[in-house]
Amino acid sequence: MSKAATMTTRNNIIEKCDDRKDKWASEVKGRLESFTDLVAPEAVYHHQCSLNFRIGQNIPSKYLSSDNLLISPVKPHSGRPSNTDQQEAFQYTLEYLEHQAELVTLNELKIIMQSKLTAMNSNNSAYHTKTISRKIQDIYKDTVNITHHEGIAGLVTLKSQTDNIIFQFHNSKTNVTDE
């Protein structure tokens, strides 16, 4: 279980509900309408449910109750068929990103995804860094920073981690000047 840690969490979830337009989104939106702030009541959610909800998948089967069984897929997908190995490896990569306390690059996320695919004995390749970037931006919207700088292919950080990273950087600079 994870706690809702930012004030923008509610608005981001409601925006995703409006994008999904399915039974699960209606249920989630209905629960949120009575709250303007999820941090104060210490709202909690299943991490896997949050990921599935944000990337357009259904409720994980281990959390289904008898009244949830009729939830249909978000929408029929056109284009390439879904690759479950890649989706699972990408979810693993998102979990890594959410628990990472330091800056990480798109290339590092691609390596993590490929490592997960290899560990799964999958013959599939990790998404291209442009695809990873697009998917991360689609999922996290305005709560993620992807910064491109000279010679560095996209530094990625969630805004909830930014304060900690700046504090660590400041402390490292302070320790260097104190010596």
pLDDT tens readout for residues 64-82: 655 554 444 444 555 666 6
For residues 96 and 170, membership in a common domain is answered with yes
Q: What's the rounded Cα separation, in Å, for the pair 17 and 29?
A: 6
**Range scoring the smallest mean pLDDT among 3-17, 57-71, 96-110, 127-141:** 57-71
- Residues 55-64, buried b or exposed e (16+ Cβ, 10 A)? bbbbbeeeee
Number of domains in the chain: 2
Measured over the CA atoms of residue 87, residue 11, residue 99 and residue 166, the dihedral's sign is positive
Is the whole model's pTM more than 0.85, yes or no? no
For residues 36 and 97, membership in a common domain is answered with no
For residues 98 and 49, membership in a common domain is answered with no
